[in-house]
Each structure stands twice: as structure tokens, then as C-alpha cells.
Structure 1
Amino acid sequence: MNEKEYEIVELLRKLDINRPVALTLACLSCGDEITSRDIERNSSLRQPEVSIAMRYLKENEWVDIREVKKTEGKGRPVKLYRLITPLDEIVQSIEQRILLESSYVLNNIEKLKRLA
């Protein structure tokens, strides 16, 4: 990972995005298709962590998963991952979630002030 990708990870972590998701998003931010093995190597994540992060990204409809049969030997097909939502739109989605949560907390504080 390069300096920009590490900065993306740091900023996502400050926004309360868990480490595997932040690292996986940073790896995918280049826009190219990438295998889970490449993500593991680039991010120092373990395979289960990449799978959990991918599940989160898929649930949010931010990533496309494509299977390709191996050209040599036996085994499972190779999965290729690619962001289908631009990173700036993902950031906007995170921003909206945080603003909604903050509004909820502030409303509860105001209710508590009235009751006190």
C-alpha cells in the first residue's frame, strides 16, 4: 500500500470504520479488480478478516464480486473484487450515517435537558 492508501485507512478508522473494512477499502480504492489474496498481501489482513470486510462491503452494495475459474490445477475459482461505488460516494454515505447518529444523540441530550 502507498502513502495515500495508508492515509485513507487512518481517516476511515477515525470515522469508526473497523480496521479490516478500512484496509480493504484502501486496497480497492485504486479501482482495479483485485483478488482476496492480493488484499491479504497488501494489507497484512488474514483471509477471514478479508471475508468479513467483503461481506460488509457487499451488504452496502459497494463492491462487485466476480469468480474466475483457475487456469491451472484444481481448486475453487478465484474471486475478483472491484469497487462499484466510487470512494467519494462511500465517504458521503459514511458522512450521512454519522450525521444521522449525531442528530439522534443530540435530540436525546435535549430531551434530558428538558427533563432535568
Structure 2
Amino acid sequence: MKIESADILDEQSKEIIELLQNLGVGRTEAISIACLSCGKEITSHDIEQASGMRQPEVSVAMRPLRERGWIEERNEKKNSDKGRPVKYYKLIVPLREIIETFEEDIRQKNKEMEETLRHLKDLRGA
């Protein structure tokens, strides 16, 4: 069954991208998360078509997702056995859990910034 671009990046997905970027998530990573949040296994080509990203951008965006253990990736040879295999991606962690990870990162950064500000004030009795 062919997945349509509109099934991958609907209006809600576009809002997810914008909100993730507001949190400081990079554009291509935010787009990739939103594409994968459709809940289906999709190809690199599907992501390219839905988002307008180029293949190298998709590959680079998938690296941190793979390193965090958020996606499953598999390769499938084309029928002709010529060219590169098709890459399939699937989100294996619920979007809610991904958001909680970003939330914790932001809380930790804010805590560190508050500690730095307190230390600066203490240095000269500001």
C-alpha cells in the first residue's frame, strides 16, 4: 500500500514540527519526528516526498533518532538488485515519551542556567 504525503505530514504534523522547533529541536530532526509520528513504517523516499528534504538531510536527521533508540531502521533490496537498498524507518517510542525527553533536557538546562546566575550574583555580591 502506497503511503500518500498527506498521510505523513498533515496539519497536526506541521504543528508538531513548529512546536518542536520552538523547543530548540533542529528543523530536519523535527520534520523527521513528525513524519514518523504517523505511526507507520515509512521509507526515506516517503519522508523526502512529504517534507521536501533531500536524501542526505533525511539520513543526517535520522542519526540522533537512531542513537536515542527512538526508531527502528531496516534496509530492503530493490527488486532489480541494482542501486541502494530502500531504507525503512519506524518510530518505536511513543511521541509522548520523546516529548518527555525534550522536557527533561529543557528542565536540566534551565536548572544549570539558574545555578550559573546565582553563582554570578554571589561572585561580586551583585
Q: What is the 5 A alignment of 1:1-116? A: 1-116=9-124
CA distance in 1, matches of 2:56, 2:32: 12
In 1: Cα distance, 2:28 partner to 2:110 partner: 24
TM-score by length of 1: 0.96
Greater CA drift, 64-73 or 25-34: 64-73
The separation in 2 between residues aligned to 1:28 and 1:43, in whole angstroms, is 12
Structure 1 residue 74, shift from structure 2 partner? 1.4
SS in structure 1 of the partner of residue 39 of structure 2: coil
The one-letter code matched in structure 2 to 1:108 is: T
* Alpha-carbon distance between aligned partners in 1 of 2:44 and 2:86, rounded to the nearest angstrom: 8
Residue aligned with 1:82, SS: strand
Q: Which moved more, 1:4-13 or 1:72-81?
A: 72-81
The AA in structure 2 aligned to 1:114 is D
**Where does structure 1 differ by over 4 angstroms across 4 or more consecutive aligned residues?**
none
Q: Alignment partner of 1:32: what SS?
A: coil
Identical aligned pairs, as a percentage? 48
The alignment partner of 2:38 has SS state of coil
Instruction: Kindly provide the amino acid, as one letter, of the partner of residue 107 in structure 1.
Output: E
- Report the Cα distance in structure 1 between the residues aligned to 2:95 and 2:54, rounded to whole angstroms: 23
Gaps of 5+ in 2: 1-8
